[in-house]
Chain A
Amino acid sequence: MASPIPLRSRLRRYGTSYAMLLPFLALFAGFLIWPLANSLYLSFTTFDGINPAAFVGLDNFRQLAEDDRFRHALGNTGLYVVGSVVIGTLLSLGLALAFNGTGWAHRIMRTVFFLPSVTSSIALMLMWKWVLFPSDVGLANTIMHWFGGKDVAWLATPGLAIPILVMMSVWGGMGYGMVLYVAGLGAIPQEYYEAARIDGASTWAQFRHITLPLLRPVTTYVVVTGLIGAFQVFEAVYIVFQTGANNVGGVLDSGLMIVPYLYDQGFTHFKLGYASAIAWVLFLIIFVLSLVNLRAGRAMKEL
């Protein structure tokens, strides 16, 4: 379009536009785009943080494929992700259906379930570590004693690591999902239910054919963001399961997952090249999951 505005003033206006973009773009390029490219390069090297990086091609990735600890971390992550997302989403939906009213009882219940979302996450991890203390000074074992059970070494029993991590994740996250679902429920027109009732539809039929389908966008969002968050879990493992200064994954690596393993390789063993390869595996997983998330697709259509 031929603009009637003189060239110089147009330049001035565009100059201002670019100046306004500059702070964001400079930081974005410097601390995201460049590091991203750099981490891909590092994943093909033996960089250790001190010596110059030696290019080794795909060696790191080949080594990863045969690395038992990495496979173990992947398996643990898979179990954790499926467990926490499935249970967490179902409970979020259940809570939203149960407590979406405006009365004080419902509001208190919503606040109670939402509380972990606004509590310091490290404080929660320390709290769990203390609740799960291995002797009966801890809360969990005290409850075991009430029911005639014996002390359980909760955090030192390899088979319990993933279930405990799933439990902590569900406990801390279901209130957040609940808030999303409550908003989703509020957006469903009341008339649909009235019409269904007039037609004699049962409560279950209403739920099955009105509520559930109309909540689908919320469910997609809760599941996809839940998946992405679960793949990136770190401090639950690091704080609760750490057994010593250089241990990241807990007893026998029972709680080892992708990001804790990345930290272990990169920052306790200083194999920064190898850790970069792990970072890129994580990247590929999250990238595929994000593509599923319609958020980006819809945004691209809009511009």
Chain B
Amino acid sequence: MAVAPMDTIAPVQRPRHRTVSGGRRSRINGHLLRLPFYLLSLTMIAPFYWLLITVFKPPTELARTPPSFVPQSPTFANFYDPEWTAEGVNPGHLQGIFQRYQVDFGFWRFLFNSLVITTTITVVSLLICSLAAYVIAKHDIKGRRTIFLLIIASMMVPWQTTLIPNYVIMRNLGWLDSYAAYIIPALAKAFVLFFLVQFLQSIPNELIQAARVDGAGEWRIWWKIVLPLLRPALAAMSIFIVLAEWNNFLWPLIIVQSDEMANLPVALARLNSYFAGPDHQGAIMAGGLIASVPTIVFFLIFQKYFTRGIALSGLKG
């Protein structure tokens, strides 16, 4: 989103009548006022830098004090160490992140699980929510007001309140430890529906009416007209859903029993509870890095939509 270049601390667009020296002074003042925030940005970068260098240090270097701030002997061993042997006869070598899990395909399996779960929930929930939003916003049916009020009210329910009954439902259905338990309870998203209804209400009815006159069925109108109209809203919502589902932890922690069905957060949490030593941090951070790359790439590609989506949800609501 094009943000107006406006600044109250140090005006970016200074009035023309100001002298050059006055301008420079105010620019220096601006930098001085910003100094604490520049310093604050160091506290943002430092932990990330620490994570990154950890990933490329061998286990022996990780256990050394004081720690090195540039990896002395950079290595990819924290991802995969060909010299590691199961008997532990090769001191100084630990399993890389891709060697650590006793499941088929190792760490790839969790990456796959997270990708499948996140993509499915995002696509299917947007379809389901947009269908319902279309009816609530544009169809004159009985009870739509009641239904919408109920959905709005449900937005005030912290999802943890339904955690225990939903766990019992999953158990009774025999869905524990399955993709179904990840995906199906996560599809009806009240916030998404609410947002889409609001968005649709701001769109005039003419297009839809014209299509009806032309004899298009409701399903066709939804697919051919409503979905394209909703595109900016769907983009904004998909960002929220992707981030939330990619990071989902408490629900998977409860429904996942086997190693195979863990998503990335649960797999990493398990690794964390098994290995506490500094020499293991390289592999753990490597796992964290891999888990972060997809969302960071997603962000860099759709950066524009991110800020717009956040702003839209915050300002419209």
CB within 8 Å of B: which residues of A?
Answer: 13-14, 16-18, 20-21, 23-25, 27-28, 30-36, 38-39, 42, 49, 91, 94-95, 97-103, 109, 112-113, 115-124, 126-131, 133, 135-139, 142, 145, 171, 175-176, 179-180, 182-188, 190, 193, 197, 203, 206-207, 210-211, 217-218, 221-222, 228, 231-232, 234-235, 238-239, 242, 245, 259, 262-263, 266-267, 272, 275-276, 279-280, 282-283, 286-287, 290-291, 295-296, 298-300, 302-303
| Chain A residues, Cβ within 8 Å of B222 | 20
B281 with A197: CB separation less than 8 A: no
State A171–B314 Cα separation when bound (angstroms). Answer: 20
- Interchain CA distance A28-B154 in the complex, whole Å: 9
In the complex, what distance in Å separates the CA atom of A275 from the CA atom of B163? Answer: 10
**Which one of A42, A234, A286 lies within 8 Å of B249 (CB-CB)?**
A234
Judged by a CB distance under 8 angstroms, whether B119 is at the interface is no
A142 touches B147 (CB 8 A): no
Given known A118-B296, A180-B310, A217-B315, contact A130–B269 (CB-CB < 8 A): no
Q: A178 to B123, alpha carbons, bound, how many Å?
A: 29
Given contacts A21-B135, A296-B155, contact A121 B145 (CB under 8 A): no
> Given A136-B65, A184-B315, are A102 and B157 neighbors across the interface (CB < 8 Å)?
no
B75 at the interface (CB under 8 A from A): no
Besides the contacts A16-B217, A24-B132, A133-B278, what 10 more A-B pairs have beta carbons closer than 8 Å? Answer: A14-B142, A97-B9, A122-B268, A123-B291, A126-B272, A142-B66, A238-B269, A259-B160, A267-B254, A303-B149
- In the complex the two chains form, is A24's CB within 8 Å of B131's CB? yes
Contact (Cβ within 8 A) A275 B131: no
Asked if B5 and A13 sit within 8 Å, CB to CB, the answer is no
Contacts of B307 in A (CB 8 A): 179, 182-183
Cβ distance A168 to chain B, nearest Cβ, rounded Å: 10
Nearest-CB residue, chain B, relative to A217: B315
Quick check: A228 and B158 within 8 Å, CB to CB? yes
Contacts of B310 in A (CB 8 A): 176, 179-180, 183
Main secondary structure on chain A at its contact with chain B?
helix
Residue-wise, chain B 227-256 has the 8 Å CB interface mask toward A (1 for contact) of: 000000000000000010011011001100
**Which of A20, A145, A283 sits near B161, CB closer than 8 Å?**
A283
Question: Which chain A residues lie closer than 8 Å to B46 at the CB level?
Answer: 139
On whether the beta carbons of A27 and B184 are closer than 8 Å, the reply is yes
List the 6 shortest-distance A-B pairs measured between CB atoms, nearest first. Answer: A123-B288, A183-B311, A35-B165, A290-B156, A24-B132, A27-B188
Total residue contacts A-B, CB cutoff 8 A: 327
CA–CA, A120 and B37, complex, Å = 24
Contact A129 B272 (CB under 8 A): yes
CB interface residues, B 210-226, toward A, < 8 Å? 217-219, 222
Question: In the complex the two chains form, is A263's CB within 8 Å of B250's CB?
Answer: yes
Contact: B295 with A118, CB < 8 Å? yes
B41 touches A123 (CB 8 A): no
B168 contacts the other chain (Cβ, under 8 Å)? yes
Greatest chain B CB density within 10 A among A32, A94, A145 is at A32
Task: Give the distance to chain B from A215, nearest Cβ to Cβ, in Å.
Answer: 10
Contact mask B49-85 → A, CB, 8 Å, 1/0? Answer: 0110010000000111111000000000000000000
Let me know if B25 is at the binding interface, CB within 8 A: no
The answer to whether A38 touches B15, judged by C-beta atoms less than 8 angstroms apart, is: no
Q: Which residues of B contact A287 (CB under 8 A)?
A: 156-157
A32, B153: Cα distance in complex, Å: 12
Q: Are A16 and B219 in contact (CB under 8 A)?
A: yes
Q: How far is the CB of B272 from chain A (nearest CB, A)?
A: 6
Q: B residues within 8 A CB of A112?
A: 41, 44-45
Do A186 and B187 have beta carbons less than 8 Å apart?
no
Whether B162 lies near A31 (C-beta < 8 A) is yes
Kindly state the separation between the CA atoms of A287 and B67 in the bound complex, as whole angstroms.
Answer: 48
Whether A24 pairs with B160 at a CB distance below 8 angstroms is: no
Whether B4 and A190, one on each chain, are in contact in the complex, defined by CB atoms closer than 8 angstroms, is yes
In the docked arrangement, what's the CA distance between A176 and B169, Å? 35
B261 at the interface (CB under 8 A from A): no
CB within 8 A of A27: which of B65, B128, B152, B218? B128
- Chain A residue numbers with a CB within 8 Å of B184 are 27, 31
Asked if residues A127 and B50 are in contact (CB atoms below 8 Å), the reply is yes
Using CB atoms, name the residue of chain A closest to B62. Answer: A137
Set of chain B residues within 8 Å of A239, measured between Cβ atoms: 269, 272
CA distance A234 to B247 in the complex (A): 12
A98: which B residues are within 8 A, CB to CB?
9, 33-34, 37
Given contacts A24-B132, A127-B288, A239-B272, contact A35 B166 (CB under 8 A): yes
> Which among A109, A118, A280 has the highest number of chain B CB atoms within 10 Å?
A118
User: Do residues B161 and A122 form an inter-chain contact, with CB atoms below 8 A?
Assistant: no
Most buried by B among A27, A103, A267: A27
Instruction: Considering the complex, give the chain A residue whose CB is closest to the CB of B239.
Output: A118
B284 touches A290 (CB 8 A): no
A91 to B164, CA, bound (A): 36
CB-based nearest B residue for A288: B156
Assembled-state Cα–Cα distance A113/B217 (Å): 48
Contact with A along B264-278 (1 / 0, CB 8 A): 110011001100001
Residue from A25, A190, A217, A218 whose CB has the most chain B CB atoms within 10 Å: A25
Most chain-A CB neighbours within 10 Å: which of B165, B193, B311, B317?
Answer: B165
CA distance A97 to B269 in the complex (A): 37
- Provide the bound-state CA to CA distance between A94 and B9, in Å: 10
Q: Nearest Cβ in chain B — how far from A39, in angstroms? A: 5
| A279 vs B163: C-alpha distance when bound (angstroms) | 8
Taking CB atoms, residues of chain B closer than 8 Å to A210 are 8
Q: What distance in Å separates the Cβ of A25 from its nearest Cβ neighbour in chain B?
A: 7
B285 touches A130 (CB 8 A): yes
Complex CA–CA separation, A182 to B310 (angstroms): 11
